[in-house]
Amino acid sequence: MTDEEALAFLEEERIVVVATNGHDGFPHLMPLWYVLREGRPWAWTYSKSQKARNIERDPRATLQVEAGVEYSELRGVMLRAEVRLHRDLEAVTALGFEIFARHTGAEGEEVAEMVRSQAPKRVGLEFVEGGRRATWDHRKLGGGVY
């Protein structure tokens, strides 16, 4: 994919699988809802989650967003990133609102109250791309099965 195609793909999809480095040397993979801010993925998670603990110890992560069912439809983006943790309550709350608006379309006081109640327990995750990016789009293969 070109950079423009990869950005459009990331804007279109909803779930990123984040691989962090576990304390025992094994990768820890978890799916997260995300938003793009200036082309950069952002997510939030509980501050006491395993992925947050892993990031505190080692800020490197690999992200993968993929789509497609049939081989000829498969496409995706994998990128290496350094994760910056954001703990400011106002910033984390704003991120929570942004994530829920994008993924559920829900707004209003019920959603606002839920986000405000969760934000003190969460951290924002800013994924700063670095290193090599891999992309694939099997739709460009000309319709072959393999």
Examine residue 57 and state whether it is found in any structural domain, yes or no. Answer: yes
User: 């576990």: which residue's tokens?
Assistant: 22
Examine residue 17 and state whether it is found in any structural domain, yes or no. Answer: yes
Cα angle 114-118-119, degrees, rounded to a multiple of 5: 115
Which band of pLDDT confidence, cut at 50, 70 and 90, is reported for residue 132? Answer: confident
CA distances from 119 to 40, 47, 102, 116 (A): 21, 10, 17, 5
Query: What is the structure's pLDDT at 146?
Result: 55
Residue type, 3: D
Examine residue 67 and state whether it is found in any structural domain, yes or no. Answer: yes
Query: What is the structure's pLDDT at 91?
Result: 97
Examine residue 130 and state whether it is found in any structural domain, yes or no. Answer: yes
Examine residue 24 and state whether it is found in any structural domain, yes or no. Answer: yes
Range of the domain at 78: 3-141
Q: What is the number of structural domains in the chain?
A: 1
**pLDDT tens for residues 111-121?**
889 999 999 99
Examine residue 146 and state whether it is found in any structural domain, yes or no. Answer: no
d(CA 108, CA 54): 34
CA distances from 146 to 70, 77, 141 (A): 10, 20, 9
**pLDDT tens for residues 51-104?**
999 999 999 999 999 999 999 999 999 999 999 999 999 999 999 999 999 988
Examine residue 43 and state whether it is found in any structural domain, yes or no. Answer: yes
Query: What is the structure's pLDDT at 144?
Result: 58
Examine residue 64 and state whether it is found in any structural domain, yes or no. Answer: yes
**pLDDT tens for residues 93-104?**
999 999 999 988
- CATH code (residue 33): 2.30.110.10
Rg (Cα) of the chain, in Å, rounded? 16
pTM as predicted: 0.91
**pLDDT tens for residues 16-54?**
999 999 999 999 999 999 999 999 999 999 999 999 999
- Half-sphere exposure at residue 110, Cβ-oriented, CA atoms within 13 angstroms: 4
